[in-house]
Amino acid sequence: MVGKSVVFNSLTGAYVTVSNYPGTTVNVSRGKAKIDGEEFEIMDTPGMYSFMPITEEEQVAREILLKEKPEVILHMVDARNLERMLPLTLQLIEAGLPVILDLNMMDELEKAGIEINVEQLGQELGIPVVATVATSGRGMEILRKRLVEYVRSQSCTVQI
């Protein structure tokens, strides 16, 4: 429970379908978003807490990352549990997946009097990092901007 569905709903709006992931009983929502003129198809995956799946939900999340080959993966974590979630972020990066890290629940983190240097974390990880409060919308504009920038920078890559 890190706020994935709140972000999914805020990005996608009305056109959402929910269906079982093939061969499973796990629900996956898909929706469309248009951000700065770019069309996105967005999937709300089940929560995943390690790259070694234990539950059926985690297996589905892993399959989506590996088989659907998303152009960008928004890895959302509860900012309060950053330390516990960073190993998964690193595994996703090492697997060569296109990751943006979203530190959500920043309001709760601030209530606890903790600060995170978001920019420095991004530099150290070598990926875009954003900070959000999904429920109030704080940081969502920057998140949208980073998503579009990321997809545009990828599609300009020439592979030899």
| Residue 28 near ligand GTP by CB under 6 A | no
Kindly give, in sequence order, each residue whose CB lies less than 8 Å from that of residue 64, ignoring residues fewer than 6 positions away. Answer: 21, 28, 43, 45, 70
Q: Of 120 and 135, which CB lies nearer to ligand GTP in the complex structure?
A: 135
Neighbours of 20 (CB within 10 A): 11
| Residue 133 near ligand GTP by CB under 6 A | yes
Q: Of 48 and 99, which CB lies nearer to Mg ion in the complex structure?
A: 48
Q: Which stretch binds ligand GTP (CB under 6 A): 2-10, 15-23, 32-40, 85-93?
A: 2-10
State in angstroms the smallest separation of the CB of 91 from Mg ion.
Answer: 21
| Residue 24 near Mg ion by CB under 5 A | no
